[in-house]
Amino acid sequence: MFDPRAASSRSAPPPRGRVTRFAPSPTGWLHLGHAHSALFAARQATAVPGGRFLLRIEDIDTGRCRPEYDAGLREDLAWLGLTWEEPVRRQSDHLAEHAVALDHLRALGLLYPCFCTRKDIQAEIAASPSAPHGPDGPLYPGTCRALDPAERADRLAAGEPHALRLDMARAEAHADAGGSPALTWHDAGAGSQCARPSLFGDVVLARKDIPTSYHLAVTLDDAAQGVTLVTRGQDLFEATHVHRLLQALLDLPVPEYHHHGLLTDAAGRRLAKRDNARAVRTLREAGVPPADVRAMAGVPDA
Ligand code: GLU
């Protein structure tokens, strides 16, 4: 049986002050946008006494993550003047905990295997011009949700590769059962929000290539690390609707949120990892001092 409190109490001390984190994926060099996010999280932790700032390496995307980026981003963060608690949590070390949560959701009847390839999904969406869209693009059309149970069992028995998707309608109904009030969460900038996870449709909770996903991993790890204030870019604002539903289904504590604005270049475009000129490493090597980089990242020294 999934017991999130047991999982959390192993690593989370009793909350005192704010606990924030920076959770980069080591898929490229740290750029000014990340520096902004990391400095923002660290400042939020230290703004009130007793705060703690954590670093978490989100390395579940094994195809894109590289050890040199992991080492490089820690070096760049330290050069920027940041300190964090050790040991650093590495997401890929916790897949067993993610599996326990998936078992719990499966036992509630809220997961189903999805055998579709990207191509299958695109073809299905192209065939229905009014396919609904969510924040990440067109929603999964539900092909495998409607599979005949015997066919599903045969394909599983044959070892056909599959992802695990959350049956969103059932999951929402489950969270609503018992007449409890609608799910809400709070963002420091945008105020109180009613959770609308169905914006995303039947999200993937375990990928074909790795038995977890961003939504599942981030929600579980924030709870396990005792994070009380999740800070991250505005681009992930809507994802919080899904995380709030997972917290309800897995009986996890609900942190506060603060989604910050994104740093843009002079043309108003979001900074990306491919912008090497904006890499902290490039600026460092060019002799720009840390205080200037902190100012360029939009978090000048007080
Ligand atoms: N690992 C995610 C990223 O690098 C951030 C996740 C989060 O802060 O929730 O975009």
What DSSP line would sit under 20-50, residue for residue? EEE---SSS--BHHHHHHHHHHHHHHHTSTT
**C-alpha gyration radius of the chain:** 20
- Average pLDDT for the chain: 91
pLDDT tens by residue, 221-257: 999 999 999 999 999 999 999 999 999 999 999 999 9
Query: Tokens at residue 287, please?
Result: 């002799």
Closest C-alpha among 23, 22, 24, 19 to residue 46:
19
Residue 131 CA to ligand 1 centre (angstroms): 28
Report the distance separating Cα 260 and Cα 236, nearest Å.
10
Report the distance separating Cα 103 and Cα 109, nearest Å.
10
Best probe residue, ligand 1, of 25, 231, 259, 273 (max atoms within 8 Å of C-beta): 25
Rounded average pLDDT over 81-101:
97
Q: Report how far Cα 237 is from the mean position of its chain's Cα atoms.
A: 11
Closest C-alpha among 58, 177, 162 to residue 115:
162
pLDDT tens by residue, 272-300: 656 666 899 999 999 999 999 999 998 88
Residue 21 CA to ligand 1 centre (angstroms): 10
Report the distance separating Cα 243 and Cα 240, nearest Å.
5
The ranges assigned to domains in the chain are: 4-296
**What's residue 101's pLDDT?**
98
Atom 6 in ligand 1: residue holding the nearest Cα:
23
Best probe residue, ligand 1, of 218, 227, 231 (max atoms within 8 Å of C-beta): 218
Closest C-alpha among 104, 57, 85, 64 to residue 221:
57
Residue 218 CA to ligand 1 centre (angstroms): 8
Query: Tokens at residue 121, please?
Result: 């999904």
Report the distance separating Cα 244 and Cα 91, nearest Å.
20
Residue type, 182: A
User: Percentage of residues in the chain with pLDDT exceeding 70?
Assistant: 91
Question: Sign of dihedral through CA atoms 285, 288, 291, 297?
Answer: negative
Residue 24 CA to ligand 1 centre (angstroms): 6
Instruction: With cut-offs at 50, 70 and 90, classify the pLDDT of residue 84.
Output: very high
Atom 2 in ligand 1: residue holding the nearest Cα:
24
Residue 180 CA to ligand 1 centre (angstroms): 30
Best probe residue, ligand 1, of 40, 44, 59, 236 (max atoms within 8 Å of C-beta): 236
18 within 8 A of 49, measured Cβ to Cβ: no
Whether residue 55 is predicted with pLDDT greater than 70 in this model: the reply is yes
Atom 3 in ligand 1: residue holding the nearest Cα:
24
Residue 195 CA to ligand 1 centre (angstroms): 19
Q: Which range (153-162, 173-182, 256-265) has the least confidence? A: 173-182
β-strands 204-206, 163-166: how paired? antiparallel
Report the distance separating Cα 293 and Cα 278, nearest Å.
10
49 within 8 A of 91, measured Cβ to Cβ: no
145 within 8 A of 170, measured Cβ to Cβ: no
**What's residue 267's pLDDT?**
76
Rounded average pLDDT over 18-44:
96
Rounded average pLDDT over 29-39:
95
Burial bucket for residue 34 (CB in 10 Å: 0-12, 13-18, 19+): buried
Around ligand 1, the residues with Cβ closer than 6 Å are: 23-25, 58, 218, 232, 236
Instruction: With cut-offs at 50, 70 and 90, classify the pLDDT of residue 10.
Output: very low
Whether residue 8 is predicted with pLDDT greater than 60 in this model: the reply is no
Whether residue 1 is predicted with pLDDT greater than 50 in this model: the reply is no
Query: Tokens at residue 233, please?
Result: 């870019």
- Give the architecture (CATH level 2) of 4-296: 3-Layer(aba) Sandwich (3.40)
pLDDT tens by residue, 192-210: 999 999 999 999 999 999 9
Q: In ligand 1, which atom is closest to the CA atom of 236?
A: 9
Q: In ligand 1, which atom is closest to the CA atom of 232?
A: 8
**Strand order across the 184-187 sheet:** 191-194, 184-187, 256-260, 229-233
Whether residue 4 is predicted with pLDDT greater than 80 in this model: the reply is no
Residue 166, C-beta contacts closer than 8 angstroms, at least 6 positions apart: 105, 110, 111, 202, 203, 205
**What's residue 273's pLDDT?**
58
Q: In ligand 1, which atom is closest to the CA atom of 21?
A: 8
**What's residue 5's pLDDT?**
47
**Strand order across the 19-22 sheet:** 19-22, 52-57, 89-90
